[in-house]
Amino acid sequence: MKAVILAGGEGTRLHPLTYTRPKTLIPILDRPMVNYTLDYFREGVDEIIFAAGHMVAELRSYMDSIGEGSRVKIVTEENPLGTGGAVKNVESLLDEPFIVLNADIISSINMQEFISFAEDKGGMGSIALFPSSHPEDYGVVELEEGQRIVRFVEKPTREEAFSNLINAGVYYLKPEILDLMEPNKFVSMEREVFPLIIQDGFFGYRFDGHWVDVGKVDTYLEAVRTLLDIKGSRIDEASQIGDGVEIVDPIYVGPRSVKRSGRLGPLTSVGNGCDLGTSEITGSVLFDEVRLGENVGVTDSVLGEGVVVGDNSTLKGCVIGDGEVIDEGSNLVDQKVGMR
Ligand code: GDD
Ligand code: MG
């Protein structure tokens, strides 16, 4: 079986972090996000096709570096073709029923169980569904008995949202669906194709556990915090956290990171080779090689690779792009630094 990964979005809502890397390579704890995508396909899928468009060279060299170069094909779209157009664009690589997956999903879905469900149900295909308290941000689905989808509306208004079941961004589709799309044309799978196939049998597989769309800074932080909650604390052996550091679980600290005193956590992830000085860090993500000065406070923020924060500074609700330097004595709230 083959899987098509929709990875062509520019990750605009994650700027400035996605100026310097594709969304698929944003770190989540110890690994870039794309690894969580590949984890769904440890078995049963022999070819993974990335429909990509933004920073493709970086994605390709990362795939080679983790030894996935042969199972993974990366197809580049010159101009974004939309979620449907992107699948149509790789039609020549598809024959049997295939999986489509949004590249920005962190979830507990059991892919084998989903595939078995879809094979049993038949019709034009199936999609995975997850309950949400803010369905209007997503594709909203109405299910009837027998798990049949009777309505699909992409991003309705809050008042219009008729159910709390949302499209989790995982599809099993019959190749016939490709006949409904014109080649080289922008097509939205959710707005133009799904409403058409409802009459031909389209099924919804509900799952529980966790599901996060890592599309915005707050949902990125939510994804990291969710995994920290599930996995618990992990501090790499090759890091040096002083005895005087107050650790509030759960946290993740990568190799070669150093902290002398202060507080770390809860819900905080620190990459490799960071120097955290005497800071207090809560609810935040620090990418690799971040350097914090003396008496720095970081709360609910994301600090990109190589960020340097001067002494006596505080950051709250901030997103700092790779390599940025924050002057000493700064006090930043809800700011993005590193915008182009
Ligand atoms: N190749 C390609 N070309 N990929 C694209 C394009 C495109 O033109 N546009 C978007 N994508 C990719 C994105 O990179 C992302 O991985 C996925 O398709 C979904 O796009 P988003 O831009 O993240 O959409 P969304 O999150 O607002 O909504 C979608 O996902 C929700 C679940 O996370 C919809 O499918 C909703 O119905 C769904 O609930
Ligand atoms: Mg998304």
- pLDDT per position as a tens digit, 117-170: 999 999 999 999 999 999 999 999 999 989 999 999 999 999 999 999 999 999
- Residues 159 and 72 occupy one common structural domain: yes
Give, using CA atoms, the residue closest to atom 3 of ligand 1.
8
Q: How far is the CA of 178 from the centre of ligand 1 (A)?
A: 18
Same domain, 45 and 194: yes
Q: Same domain, yes or no, for 209 and 241?
A: no
- Pick the atom of ligand 1 nearest to 167's CA: 39
Asked if the model's pLDDT at residue 34 lies above 90, the reply is: yes
CA 330 to ligand 1 centroid distance, Å: 36
Domain end (from 227, 243, 261): 227
> Average pLDDT over the chain, rounded to whole?
96
pLDDT score at 72? 96
Same domain, 37 and 126: yes
Which contacts qualify for 114-120: CB closer than 8 Å, 24 or more apart? 114/170, 114/172, 114/205, 114/207, 115/1, 115/44, 115/172, 117/147, 117/203, 117/205, 118/172, 118/203, 118/205, 119/172
Q: Among all ligands shown, which has an atom nearest to the Cα of 56?
A: 1
Minimum-distance ligand to the CA of 155? 1
CATH number at residue 150: 3.90.550.10
Q: How far is the CA of 104 from the centre of ligand 2 (A)?
A: 6
State how many domains the chain has.
2
Per-residue pLDDT tens digits for 58-91: 999 999 999 998 899 999 998 999 999 999 999 9
Segment 39-54 shows an average pLDDT of 92
DSSP secondary structure of 284-334: -EE-TT-EE-TT-EEES-EE-TT-EE-TT-EEES-EE-TT-EEPTT-EEES
- Domain containing 293 — which CATH number? 2.160.10.10
Confidence check: pLDDT of 27 > 80: yes
Q: What is the pLDDT of residue 102?
A: 97
Q: Which of 227, 255, 287 is the last residue of a domain?
A: 227
Would you say residue 339 has pLDDT above 80? no
Ranges 42-56, 140-154, 256-270, 307-321: which has the least confidence: 42-56
Residues 72 and 208 in one domain: yes
61 burial type by CB count under 10 A (0-12 exposed, 13-18 middle, 19+ buried):
exposed
Assess whether pLDDT exceeds 80 at residue 43: yes
> DSSP letters of 207-269?
--S-EEETTSHHHHHHHHHHHHHHH--EE-TTSEE-TT-EE-SSEEE-TT-EE-SSEE-SSEE
Which of 168, 198, 227 terminates a domain? The answer is: 227
Same domain, yes or no: 178 and 122: yes
Query: Is the CB of residue 289 below 6 angstroms from any atom belonging to ligand 1?
Result: no
Q: 202 with 302, same domain?
A: no
Residues 242 and 182 in one domain: no
Question: What residue numbers bound the domain in which 272 lies?
Answer: 232-337
Q: Cα(277)–Cα(273) distance, rounded to whole angstroms?
A: 12
Q: For residues 285 and 146, state if they share a domain.
A: no
Instruction: Give residue for tokens 């190799």.
Output: 255
Pocket of ligand 1, candidates 6, 155, 184, 188: which has the most ligand atoms within 8 Å of its Cβ, to mutate? 6
Ligand that lies nearest to the alpha carbon of residue 100, given by its number in the listed order: 1
* The pLDDT value given to residue 340: 73
Model-level pTM? 0.95
The answer on 173 and 38 residing in a single domain is yes
Summarize pLDDT for 167-214 with one digit per residue, the tens: 999 999 999 999 999 999 999 999 999 999 999 999 999 999 999 999
Q: What is the pLDDT of residues 288-308, one digit of tens each?
A: 999 999 999 999 999 999 999
Residues 153, 29 within the same domain = yes
Are 202 and 276 part of one and the same domain? no
